[in-house]
Chain A
Amino acid sequence: MQRFIINKKNHIMILSAVLISSAFLSKWTAQNMEIFVWFMAAASVLGVLPIAIQAYQALRVKVVSIELLVTIAVAGAFAIKNFEESAIVTFLFLFGAYLEQRTLNKTRSAIKELVEMAPESALKLMDNGEFEEVDIEEVDAGDILLVKTGAKIPVDGTVLSGEGYVNEAGITGESLPVSKQKDSKVYAGTILENGTIQIMAERVGEDTTFGRIIELVEEAQDSKSEVERFIDKFSKYYTPAVLVLSAIVLFLSRNIELAITILVLGCPGALVIGVPVSNVAGIGNGARYGVLLKGSEVINDFSRVDTMVFDKTGTLTIGNPKVADMEFYTENPDEISGYLASVEKESDHPLAKAVLEYIGDTRLYTVEKTDVVKGSGIIALVNGHRIAVGNKALMERENVNLDEKVRTDIARFQQKGNSIVLTAVDGKIEMLMGIRDRIRPGVKEDLKKLKELGVKNLTVLSGDNQGTVDLVARELDLTEAHGHMLPEDKAAYIKELQEKGRIVAFVGDGVNDSPSIALAQIGIAMGGGTDVAIETSDVVLMNSDFSRLPHALGLAKATARNMRQNIIIAVGVVLVLLAGVFLSEWMNMSIGMLVHEASILAVILNGMRLLRYSLKT
């Protein structure tokens, strides 16, 4: 019976609206006060039923709820035969709850879209050798699954056979389909656009990357800031306090009307719901734009950031160095290139990779003996020659003479932001290469937007030489640039900034910068949607897309602002209502309930604006 009434809440609300309007109709057209009173009384009794049931259920688990306040108020109105007020108050309360549910569902819609992308079933290889459709919960790691064209990949796993193209936009943000064949990794929640593949399940359900993202978004939406925890605690005592206050007023003034008005006005609706609503809408917007803000604490900190510190390689630059300039000091470039390539083949240094990529196919020689000089280069014996490949320091160590021409070339290369690779054969300089990393396209505009959003200091830190770092800083118009920095130096630098009272966000690659990411108030990892990046950062940019950073910051600011607005609306309404009770004539229960419900809707609608937030360009 109880459940039946609760489930029919919306029908009751409509019926109560019909009764109330009929009552008014008979009053105005037929001047029939008797019908008016009967209808209003019926609407009150009907309307208070679901409210009273909820109040009772709450009371049974020792919670004084808003419903209890309303139920007592309605009973009080009944006692003084004010049926009009009791009917209108119950109707407004039900109608308000209905609207709240509708609008709240809207604010949560962004997350729902994400959750609905989760796979629900899979074609699993059964013991009889056939594939059968099973619920996703019956799939375990180690199962073999079949995925057909157009289907969602149900788990994280490895392709066993077949090939196809997969749309991974949901996980990595990459909009172009990615080709998959045997041994490729596939991710749950992505879509096989064409082809048929068989995969081995490795991680299922909540353990998949997709599952982790959903869980993090959900946790983020429900994570609470200091303010919210305070409001929660406050509202726990606030509702009983209102009950006590109204009892005191009744006792002192013997005025039931006043006492029940206080009960209705005291409902703490907008205050408790205002901040969570902003939070959920802001994080929902982010999820749509490939930005994951981990909770309201993060939003608050991020919105106040005044200093952003960037790692250079892989963050501001593409992280894939290429040979950009070259000089030969030899008659026989092919032979030298061959020697160089042979030596570099022995190394896994990123610069060596760039050199090999540049030289391409060439004649290779047998390398007899290699000696790696840390931080300088390699010395090797090739074809009976002593080959030295490395920087200036290595050449000086090897007593290689650098003549005037070579020195000016080196200076010129460095000025362009190159790292230097010199090749010497038997103590004579033969070749000079300048290798540099390219700045990510669009980074300059993104940094400008960050500045416009109020970030005062943009700093780059790097392990590279100061010249290279300065060059990047100049090109990108950064405020500060520091080279020769090891990961621990970067962390120390961030600490120093924080001691000066700055609020720092650090943007790095998420692997060797993890101390800095952990230390900064806001850590942002650019790790290509990997687990490490997702776990360690406070703000996750899907697919490491740098261009989402301005949106992330703008959104954090808008969300924080929205929360403050909602708190102001909520507190303001309570103050106005209380002042109304004591200072004015017009305040009564119905108006109180109307304003109260209106303020709840106002904060929800205000929160919903965040769903449409996008950065002005």
Chain B
Amino acid sequence: MQKATIQLEPLVCPSCIQKIEGAVKSLDGVDKESVNISFNSSKVKLNFNDEKISIQDIENAIGKIGYKVIKSQSKAI
């Protein structure tokens, strides 16, 4: 398992959170319980299984619904 922190461009609408949440939770390999998106700091924190999915895949999924990823980091837990 890996723990990832993804910094997005500043989020503006609280409904963005619902969208991003929907997008990352639907990915196979992401621990749904761990997904936490903070509006004000515009960060996505989640745990994922790196045998099933890569951090790049998660970033792409967020990018696909229209949010720019500024940087991300992940470390093993």
Contacts and interface: CB of A to CB of B under 8 A. Distances in A.
A269 B13 CA distance: 8
Interface string B41-77: 1010000000000000000000111100000010000
A61 interface: yes
B40 A221 contact: yes
Interface string A215-234: 00011011000000000100
Given A3-B66, A61-B22, A137-B73, A276 B39 contact: yes
Contacts of A2: 66
Contacts of B13: 66, 97, 100, 269, 272-273
26 contacts: A2-B66, A3-B63, A58-B22, A58-B65, A61-B22, A63-B15, A66-B15, A100-B13, A108-B10, A137-B73, A218-B40, A218-B43, A221-B38, A221-B40, A222-B38, A222-B40, A232-B14, A235-B14, A236-B18, A269-B13, A272-B14, A273-B13, A273-B14, A276-B40, A279-B40, A280-B40
A105 B41 contact: no
A218 B66 contact: no
Contact of A63 (B18, B38, B43): B18
B26 interface: yes
A62 B12 contact: no
Interface in A1-34: 2-3, 6
Q: Is the interface of A mostly helix, strand, loop or mixed?
A: helix
Interface in A215-262: 218-219, 221-222, 232, 235-236, 239
A271 to B, nearest CB: 10
Contacts, number: 73
Nearest to A272: B14
Given A108-B40, A221-B40, A63 B19 contact: yes
Interface residues of B, number: 20
Interface in B18-42: 18-19, 22-23, 26, 38-41
A122 interface: no
A468 B16 CA distance: 58
Contacts of A60: 65
A105 B12 CA distance: 9
A32 B14 CA distance: 42
A101 B11 CA distance: 8
A272 B17 CA distance: 12
Interface residues of A, number: 35
Nearest to A97: B12
Contact of B41 (A53, A61, A104, A221): A221
B19 A218 contact: no
Contact of A54 (B26, B64, B66, B73): B66
Contact of B65 (A61, A104, A219): A61
Nearest to B43: A218
A565 interface: no
Interface of A: 2-3, 6, 53-54, 57-58, 60-63, 65-66, 97, 100-101, 104-105, 108, 111, 137, 218-219, 221-222, 232, 235-236, 239, 269, 272-273, 276, 279-280
Contacts of A104: 10, 12
A279 B64 CA distance: 30
B45 to A, nearest CB: 10
B32 to A, nearest CB: 13
Interface centre among B26, B40, B64 (most CB of A within 10 A): B40
Contacts of A3: 63, 66
Contacts of A219: 38
Contacts of A269: 13
Given A3-B66, A218-B38, A276-B40, A105 B10 contact: yes
B12 A222 contact: no
Contacts of A218: 38, 40-41, 43
Contacts of B41: 111, 218, 221-222
A173 to B, nearest CB: 23
Nearest to B18: A63
A480 B19 CA distance: 53
Contacts of A97: 12-13
Nearest to A283: B40
Contacts of B38: 218-219, 221-222
A62 B22 contact: yes
B26 A272 contact: no
B37 to A, nearest CB: 9
Given A3-B66, A221-B40, A58 B12 contact: no
A507 to B, nearest CB: 28
B14 A63 contact: no
Interface centre among B15, B41, B43, B64 (most CB of A within 10 A): B15
Contacts of A62: 22
